[in-house]
Every structure is written in structure tokens, then in C-alpha cells.
A and B are shown apart, each in its own frame.
Chain A
Amino acid sequence: MNDPRRSLDDRELRRLLRGLPTVAPRAEFRERVERAATNRTVTPARHPRSWSWLAAAALALMLVGAASWRWSEVQQDREQQAEIEALRQESDRLAREIHRLRQSADAAPVVYLGGTEDVDYVIDLARLPASGQIRTAGL
């Protein structure tokens, strides 16, 4: 009678392992190996493939680099344009303000700027030079 609780011992395991049938290579195996050896001798496929991959990777890297450089240039141009435009608008606004003040100068040639209990600061618009003659203070 078989005892289902009995476990394998080393001797039985070894017998089982050695009893496994040997698997032989297929009949065409030797020819396959010889063919592969000949092919690799005549045209070593591995190196050209790896070189072509390397070249493609380098080219892709160059393209990405050039594209990102161009993009940053365009961004810089845009920022400069936006800055110039903002300055232009500010200049226009100031010109309009001076023009408005000039018009109101006929009615009230003196503009009160502020002051303390002792001194009042005023500007006499009639004595203000034309916009072309104004010089900015050097810093």
C-alpha cells in the first residue's frame, strides 16, 4: 500500500532527477550554429546596428538641442518686444499727462505739489520748458 503521508527522501529525489529523460538538440541545430557563425564573421551585424543606433541618438539629441535653443531665442525676443511696448505705452501716457497739464496751465499756471506747515511746494507750469528741452537727472 502507498502511504500518502510519506515524503521524498534524498535517494528517491536523486533517482527522480537522474530519471529525467535527456533532451537532445534538434537535428538542424549544428547547421544553425555554423550558419550563425559564418554570418557573424562575414557581416558582423551587432556593431553596425549599435553604431546606427548611436548615430540616430546623437542626431536626435542635436535636433532637440537646436530646437530648445531656437525656442529660448524666440522667447527672449518676445520678452524684449513686450518690454519695449510697455515703455512706449508709459511714454505715451506721460506725454498725454504733460499735454493735459499744459492745457490746464492757462487757467491755473501754478500747481500745488504738497508741503509742510512752513513751506508749500508749487510748480509754475508757465515756466516749465517744452518737452523737447527736458533733461533727465543723471543717477
Chain B
Amino acid sequence: MVALQQGDCQAFSKIVERHQGRLVGYLTRLTGDLDRAEDLAQEAFLRLFRSVDSYRPQGQLSAYLFRIATNLLRSEERRRTRWRHLEPIFRSGQRLQASPTAPDELLGSEIQRRLRRAIAALPLTYRLPLVLYEMEDWSCQEISQLLNCREGTIKSRLFRARQKLKETMTPYWKGGTE
């Protein structure tokens, strides 16, 4: 990031190269949609690029990127929710497709497909801590800093997220034989 601030154009390319995998992976887990995840990740990188002059190193760059991407996703989900409320007025009979659009070969087994859908169907307030904690290995403290809330709130949201997932997945769960 310092190199980018000093005008090294290759530095941005290296930043994208280094962080794209984790960021797109994180966003795909949250959205269940590779196209959406790439669009959000691209916007997050562009925001980082634009804010290069005002950037002050305060911890890891990846955490900063995750914060931008998470905020972008929150805004997008808010817009989608608003549109979902307005949609019946503008479009009669057609529903907005919320199902994942990742290519089939990426979706894995049937139970994994259902699990992806179940995660994508969770409210974002539950989805974010769940993905960060269970799949991205963030601590509750780190998540609370990212989401600007108390650790206790994160723990309670994690518990509820797990409960909801278990309720959804239990009918398809066959005692570990998948």
C-alpha cells in the first residue's frame, strides 16, 4: 500500500493478486453467487485504489478490504430489500431471483448446495458473523470491531445463525453420510 501511495502502479496489481482469492471466496460464501461476489470485490478494490491518498495503515490491509466489501454488501442488501418491497408494484407475477448463479461445477454435492442456499437465505446480521467466524477463522473480537458491535452481540448472533442453519439442514442430514 505504501508502494502504491508512492506511485508504483504495479503495487495495485500485486494487492489484487494477493487478496482476490480470500475476498472473492468470502463474498461468494456470503452471497452464494460468484458473479455478485466478483462485482463486489472489484468495487472494494477500486474503492481502496481511490482512497490510496487518504489511507493510513492501521492493522492488516485484508481487514480493511473486508470492511469495505462488507459495507458494500450491506448497502447492496439494503437496496435489494427495498426493491423486494417495491417489486410487486412494478412487476406483477415475476419474483426477483435470489438463488445462487455460480456454475454447477462449483456447487459441489447436494447437501453443500442446500447449505449454500441456507446460508444465503440467512439475514445478513446472522450471515456475516457466521461466515467470518466459522469459515474465515476470525475471532469474535475481530468481528465485533468490523461490525461495530459488542462481542456478546456477535456471540448471540452466531448462536442464532447456527440454530437457523441446523433447523434448515436437519431434514437433509443423514447422520454424517451426506
B and A form one assembly = yes
Seen from chain A, the residues whose Cβ lies within 8 Å of a Cβ on chain B are 2-4, 6-10, 12-14, 16-26, 29-30, 32-34, 36-37, 40
- Per the bound structure, the CA–CA distance linking A49 and B170 in Å amounts to 50
Contacting A at CB under 8 A, from B18-53, are 20-21, 24-25, 28-29, 34, 37-38, 41-42, 45-46, 49-50
Task: Give me the 7 closest cross-chain CB pairs, A-B, nearest first.
Answer: A25-B24, A23-B28, A7-B170, A2-B175, A8-B166, A17-B134, A2-B174
Pair B175/A19 contact, Cβ less than 8 Å: no
Q: Per DSSP, are chain B's interface residues mostly helix, strand or loop, or mixed?
A: helix
B115 near A20 (CB under 8 angstroms)?
yes
The reply to whether B21 and A8 contact each other, CB–CB distance below 8 Å, is no
B45 touches A33 (CB 8 A): yes
Q: Output the least CB separation between B125 and chain A (Å).
A: 18
Task: Please report the C-alpha to C-alpha distance between residue A29 and residue B18 in the assembled complex, in whole angstroms.
Answer: 12
CB pair A22 B25 closer than 8 Å: yes
Nearest-Cβ distance from residue B108 to partner chain A, whole angstroms: 5
Q: Which residues of B, 102-158, contact A by the 8 Å Cβ criterion?
A: 102, 106, 108, 111-112, 115-116, 130, 134-135
Tell me the bound Cα distance from A20 to B25 in angstroms: 11
